[in-house]
Structures are given as structure tokens and as C-alpha cells.
Structure 1
Amino acid sequence: MTARVFDQLPDGRDVHLVEVGEAPGPVLRLLTLGATVHDLEITGGDGVRRHVALGHGSSAAYLASGDYIGGTIGRYANRIRDGHLPLPDGDHTLGTHDRGHHLHGGPDGFDRRLWDLLDHDGHQARFGLTSPDGDQGFPGNLDVEVTFTVTDKAIDIAFTATTDRTTVVNLTQHAYLNLEGRDAGTIDGHLLRVPAQHYTPVDAEGIPTGDHAPVDGTPFDLREPQRLGAVLRTDHPQLRDARGIDHNLVVDAPADADGLHTMAVLTAPATRTELELRSDQPGLQVYTGNFLDGALPAVGGGLYRQGDGIALEPQLFPDSPHHPAWPSAVLEPGERYTARHQWVFRAAD
């Protein structure tokens, strides 16, 4: 399998596209810019092949976007309050660009970097990136890899990272999915189930206000499948502030022998297609495309607007450096950070 040139960055460097998988199973198209999920083609439960991941038509559009469409996110997915990172060796100041807070790795996060395509074949692609000491304010040289493996029913995404100095790491994938098709309109008709008894309330700037809270009686009670259109139109202050769901859910499902547990099940009744998301991470950030505004062209020349896709992002909890009781994002020299996500596609009942 040979990578081809997709286009060029402003400085003239080539961005490559590599394709893994084969029909009738999933076919995944990835860019070296951002180790980005540019396109995902699957066979729906109704037997129809569809492109179900949102994407932009050019590297310029990906770089101009603030929506992280399809990007690999790091060093720290989600927010860190005020860009303040406390570590045993002292406090560090991170790059900020989201209402004064650090978000998704900073103004120049991993989704904006040109990754090395380390190796690839018809079913797997492995990308590497070195983030130098002080990058976006983070201490330590960090060596990162992400590997995408495609089988006949599933896509496995594996992250690893090592450092030479105490730092924090929290990596995720930011694909936006629409199981009716990337140009089908909103995800309102999708059903979402998340096995979580608690969620993380946030303030108007997306920063956790304290500890997790029970989902009972809130729009975040997704323990049984809920139609997203109805959930998003619930009158609740957390949804009003975020213009939809942009929240962490604390997943309770037991892990299997591989250490993976069900994070979410997303179903599109219209196409009889179901996605089970499995991971080894404790939290799931659910983001319903609240700020997609049609400003940048999509693949094929259309425009993505609010709610046209959903991002389901397994990760550690937001702002965990300021919550010592939560799972730690600290990575020490000699340790290896690992995380796994798995997308399993099947026909819905």
C-alpha cells in the first residue's frame, strides 16, 4: 500500500494520504497532517456503503479550522484551567486559546503537526511525532506513536508515548461521525447509550466546577439509548452554556480480558448501522458538534453546520492536574503511556 500526496502545507512540505482496509469492511483514509481521520467508509446495516466521518477537502481548511475534525489530539486532550499545570518540579504555563484556558494541546496542538508515517500496509498505518521540551509549555521531550489497525468489522487505535522529564499526557482521537453519511445532515435521529452513572459539570467556559455528579434527572442520563435530537433540546443550564453536549461522562462498564470496556453505543436507525466504542480510558467526552458553523468547506464542497457529527473521545478527565483524586495524567521518565480505542461496526437490530 503506497501513500500518495494529498496536497502541500504553506511551507511546501507534502501531506500524504494513506488508505487502510478493504470493502466490504471499513476503509480508513488517514492524513499525515494531524494523524487525521480524513475519511471512513463502511457498509451500513442496510447494505449500503457510506462515508461516515466528517472531513475537510484540503490541508488549508484543516489548519484554518478550530473544530479539530478527525485530528489526533495531544499533548493533553480537553481543557486545563488557565493554562496552569502544577507538577512536582513546579508550575508550568501552557499555551491558551480557548477563553483563557488550554484546550486540546494548545494553539499548535498535535492535530496541526505533520506526523511521520513510520510504516503501513493494507490493514495498518503507524504514525510518529516528537514533541520537544517546552512545546506549548509542556516539559519534557515526548515521543508519540499512534497506530490505526483495520479489520473486517473494527478499527483499533493504539497510542503510546515516552518522556525524558515528568510531564502529562492525555491523547485521543477527534473524529466526527454521522452513521447516516457525512453529508446527511444532523445526528438528531441517532440513538446514544453511554454506561455512566456520573458526569462532570462544567462552568460556562467548559472547566469542571468540582467533582462528578449523578446523571439522574439530567440530559446526561444515557444509560438507556436516547434520541440525540430530543436530548439536545432539553432545557438544562449545562446544555445552554455549551450549546449542546460537550461533557465528560464517567464510564462504569466492566473491562474485558483485553482491558477494554464499552464506552458508548451509537445507532442510526435510518441506516440500521451501529457503532460500539470500546476503550481502556475512564472518561468519555461527548461533543455534539455544537460550534460547527459552515465556515469551511467539507469534503465534496458542502458545509458542516451545528450537529452534523458527533465526536466520542475516550480520555482522562478534563482538568485532571487540578483534581488530584482523579486518574492522573502524569508520565514519568522510564514509563510508557498507552491508550486504546476501538470502533466496532455492525448492523443494528
Structure 2
Amino acid sequence: MERIRPFGQLDDGTAVHAYRLGDGDGLCAQILDLGGILARLQLPVADRRIDLVLGLADARAYFADPGYLGILVGRYGNRIGGAAFALDGRDYQLAANEGRHHLHGGLLGFGRRLWTVREHRRDLLVLHYRSPDGEEGYPGNLEVTASYRLHPDRLDLRFEARTDAATPFNPTHHPYFNLAGDPAVPAAAQWLQVPAAGYLPVDAALIPTGAVAAVAGTPFDFRRAATLHANADPADPQLRAGGGYDHCLVLDPGHGYCAALYSPHSGVAMRIDCDAPALQLYGGHGLDIQHPGLGRGLCLEPQDYPDAPNRPAFPPAILRPGQTYRRDIGYRFAVPGRDRDWKAVAAALELP
């Protein structure tokens, strides 16, 4: 079984490789040195292997991808309004790559850069990237390590970083999950539970207004498990602004997990663990135009608040010299079975 295989070349001739984690008897992952992309994640279920995330064919497809499939996101996940911020008395202008705003780190961000492989074993891949001062407009030389560790039923991702100048820093991960393993099954048919009593309303450009609104009585209330299809209200002004779900849920203090997802079609369930204060929920509707025929997946992105550098009332997301940044994201999988009730799903995932 190949541990490393060619995954194509970029237009400038740069070779991209795929690194395999796992042996086939449990969870298996395929990760690219381009963007640290999680290109494939499979779980054995009965007599077949279920594809848990959406993926593309080769390196060129990923480099040209406007949907950020599977990438490590940085320096700053989500949006920074006006592609600008002030820090310690100085104004900074970032690359504007979504109209006049900044999204997911800019024109290339972390997701279209080649990372250095520091270590690769059957169950571990350690990637490193040095983001120089001024890249995409950010201050400071930033050293980032992203470590993927595979277990039979879990994939863990750890970000670690240091900087020599204060900089906004909010890395996250951007896989599209459809646990049905079948692109013909709507991603909105998955059951979702998120321990979040609040969310961040956005304006027409999807920039947070600065308020934190209660989810009660809105389509954003997933405190009890529900499908996106059942919760969505096409007349809701927030869903109309985003063309669907593309909103940040504010996780409850002391939350025991970030999100739980279940496909009644495959019987596969997933729990996401992270200490981040928020979770971006994106319904994947942009893929209908960006990648026709690929299907949809749900993005569940643990992170700090979007546009926090411009919102003093939001928790800060600034990394300073002398600090070591660390954030762990864990994806744990179970197979409670097809068409189970949520009580059985929660027990299989050991939800608090």
C-alpha cells in the first residue's frame, strides 16, 4: 500500500504529493502537502468503505478551487471586513479576495501554499509552513505547524504557531462532510446538533454586524438535533443574505463538544471536539456552481469570531511574540446504524 503518491503538478511545475494515513482496517486519510488538504477520509462500514468528505481529482483542481475544499485555513479563517484592521496603533491593509473584503487568508492563504513535510508515519503527518512578514498584508513572520494524527475511529488535527510580531491569527479546517458517502444524498439530510445558544448576524456581504443574537426561534437553533432542511426558513433574512447557511454559531461556555453530525442513510455519525469559542456552519450551496455534479457537504469550522480584529466587543484573536498558539480539532466517528433515533446516536458518540 503506497504511503506517498504523486498527486499532479501545478502550472509552474511544482509537484504535489498525497500522504496516506491508516492501513485500511479502520479510518483512512489522504492528505496533500498542498494546503494540508484533507483530500480523502474513509471509514469501513459493513462490506464497503464510506467516503466522508468531498474531494477533487488532482492538484490543479484544488489550486483553482474557489470552494476551499479540505484546506488548512489561515492566517485568518472566515471574513475580515474591508480587508483592513488596526492593531497597536497601526493600520493594515489585507488582500481583498471577496469583493472588498478578506476571506480565509487572502488570495492564496494557507490553502494554496506548499507545506513542508516534517514527519510522516502510518498514523502521523506533520506539516510546516513559514508565512513571511507582509504575506497577504499580515504583520510578522509566522511559523505554523499542522499535525494530523489518525486513530482507528478518530482524526486529530493540531495547529501550533509562533510569531515575531503581533498578528491576527485564526486558523481552522475546511472539509465538506457528507457522511452518506453518496453525492446523490443531500447534505442537508444529515442530522446536526451544536451546543450554541447564540449566533452572529451578518450584513449583505456576510460580515458580522457586531451583535450576538439568540438562536431560539430562528433557523440557527441546533441545540436539539435537526436537519438543515427541516430548520431552514427560505424567508429568513439571514439565510437570504447568505444564500443559505453561512453563519457563525457562538458555542456555549464549557461546551463538551463543537458539533455532532449523523447520516441516517449510511448510519455513520461524527463528533467534533475543540475548545474554540465559535463554529462556522456553511451548507455548501456554492458548490452547485463551483463544482457541478460534486454534490454538497457541510462545513463545520471551529474558530474564533470572524472580523474580530475590527470588533472590540468580540474575543480577541491576536497572536503575540512570546506566545505559543495551540488549537486541537478532533473528528471522532461511530456507526450507530441506519435510521437510528438521536438518543442512540448520542450514546454512540458519548455526547455529554
Tell me the residue number matched to 2:110.
Answer: 110
Question: Residues of 1 paired with 2:289 and 2:213: CA distance?
Answer: 34
Q: Per-residue CA shift, 1:166-201, capped at 9, x if unaligned?
A: 111100110001000153342122110101000000
What value does the CA root-mean-square deviation take over the aligned residues?
Answer: 1.5
Supply the AA of the counterpart residue of 1:310. L
Percent identical across equivalent pairs? 39
Tell me the residue number matched to 1:28.
Answer: 29
Contact kept? 1:219, 1:234, Cα under 8 Å: no
Report which structure shows greater RCO (CA 8 Å, sep ≥6).
1
Question: Residues of 2 paired with 1:254 and 1:281: CA distance?
Answer: 10
Question: Residues of 1 paired with 2:236 and 2:56: CA distance?
Answer: 32
Q: Offset at 1:291?
A: 0.7
Instruction: Please say if 1:285 is aligned against 2:280.
Output: yes
Pick from 262, 265, 275 the counterpart of residue 267 of structure 1: 262
Bigger share in strand: 1
Tell me the residue number matched to 1:345.
Answer: 333
- Secondary structure, aligned partner of 2:257: strand
Q: Per-residue CA shift, 1:71-119, capped at 9, x if unaligned?
A: 0000000000101121004010000111210000011111010111111
Tell me the residue number matched to 2:10.
Answer: 9
- Secondary structure, aligned partner of 1:220: coil
- Secondary structure, aligned partner of 1:155: strand
Q: Offset at 1:3?
A: 2.0
Question: Residues of 2 paired with 1:47 and 1:253: CA distance?
Answer: 41
- Secondary structure, aligned partner of 1:188: helix
Q: Offset at 1:58?
A: 1.4
Of 57-66 and 1-10, deviating more is 1-10
Tell me the residue number matched to 1:312.
Answer: 300
Supply the AA of the counterpart residue of 1:287. Y
Q: How does 1:135-150 map to 2 (within 5 A)?
A: 135-150=135-150
Contact kept? 1:6, 1:16, Cα under 8 Å: yes
Tell me the residue number matched to 1:53.
Answer: 53
Q: How many corresponding residue pairs?
A: 336
Question: Residues of 1 paired with 2:22 and 2:219: CA distance?
Answer: 37
Q: How does 1:189-268 map to 2 (within 5 A)?
A: 189-252=189-252, 254=254, 261-268=256-263
Question: Residues of 2 paired with 1:89 and 1:60: CA distance?
Answer: 41
Question: Residues of 1 paired with 2:226 and 2:96: CA distance?
Answer: 35
Structure 1 gap ranges (5+): 256-260, 298-302
Structure 2 gap ranges (5+): 337-343, 345-352
Q: Per-residue CA shift, 1:242-293, capped at 9, x if unaligned?
A: 11111111111625xxxxx301110111111110011011000010102113
Contact kept? 1:198, 1:249, Cα under 8 Å: yes
Structure 1 pair 59–232 and aligned structure 2 pair: CA distance change class (3 A): farther
Q: Per-residue CA shift, 1:124-151, capped at 9, x if unaligned?
A: 1011101110000000011111000010
- Secondary structure, aligned partner of 1:248: strand
Contact kept? 1:251, 1:283, Cα under 8 Å: yes
